[in-house]
Amino acid sequence: MLKNIKGYFSRTEIMIWSISALLVITSFILFDRSSYLTLCASLIGVTYLIFNAKGNPIGQVLVIIFSFLYGIISYRFSYFGEMITYLGMTMPMAVVALISWLRNPFNGNRSEVRVNSISKTETAFMSGLAMIVTTVFYFILQAFHTANIIPSTLSVTTTFLAVYLTFRRSPFYAIAYSANDIILMFLWTMASMTDSRYISVVVCFAVFFVNDIYSFFSWKNMKKRQGS
């Protein structure tokens, strides 16, 4: 099995995952040592990212699990925006994306999705939907007295764009997630000022940011290879 893993992932990908996991574990030991749920979610997160970078549907299965765990973590700090976003949008959309990826394999290979491009018309449609979703969620978050409501609302916007582009199999899903990572680093930095344990969550999303940037270029290369 280990031989198969080494054969499937490149040295760069194995290095990225190893360093990511090491940083997550180190930050947990230094700043937390109690919230094993956060540690578990973070390790699942860095693992799904490396599978997503390969366009492998297993990544979407892990996203579903991560979303559930992250929803619980967000609830504990009253980040209801994050909780609602991940449980009510990211998790169900990951199910839809999983179906889409399984239905669109590259050359019949179910371990690699066929990369897609979206038109300018669809981009405009997506942007319009994002504005509507953002507006609706702002008032929902306001009703829940959500902490740090502005960045929480922006997180809804970037998450919606990310899950939509993931479903549509566009490389730009990773850029949207990268933007979301930056917002979440800010949100959890604010939380860590109250409870230092959340520094480990900040490190988690910093690691996610690097992985998402790698995923974007990985998908661009996949698209080029699939088109040749």
User: Residue 165: pLDDT band by 50, 70, 90 thresholds?
Assistant: very high
| pLDDT given at position 127 | 98
The one-letter amino acid at 176: A
- Euclidean distance between CA atoms 150 and 153, whole angstroms: 5
Please determine, for residue 217, whether its predicted confidence score (pLDDT) is greater than 90.
yes
Backbone angles phi and psi of 104, in degrees to 5: -130, 60
| pLDDT given at position 219 | 98
Please determine, for residue 175, whether its predicted confidence score (pLDDT) is greater than 60.
yes
Residues of the chain above pLDDT 70, percent: 97
| pLDDT given at position 4 | 66
| pLDDT given at position 41 | 93
Q: 89 is written with which tokens?
A: 């949008």
| pLDDT given at position 147 | 77
| pLDDT given at position 1 | 44
Beta-carbon count within 10 A of 147 CB: 18
DSSP H helical ranges for 33-172: 36-53, 58-76, 80-85, 91-103, 120-143, 149-167
How many helices and strands (H and E) does the chain possess?
10, 2
| pLDDT given at position 34 | 84
| pLDDT given at position 195 | 86
- Euclidean distance between CA atoms 165 and 126, whole angstroms: 9
pLDDT digit string, tens, across residues 125-163: 999 999 999 999 999 889 888 878 899 899 999 999 999
- Euclidean distance between CA atoms 132 and 155, whole angstroms: 14
pLDDT digit string, tens, across residues 68-86: 999 998 888 777 877 888 8
pTM for the whole structure: 0.92
User: Residue 225: pLDDT band by 50, 70, 90 thresholds?
Assistant: very high
CA angle 68, 180, 208 (to 5 degrees): 70
pLDDT digit string, tens, across residues 92-106: 999 999 999 999 999
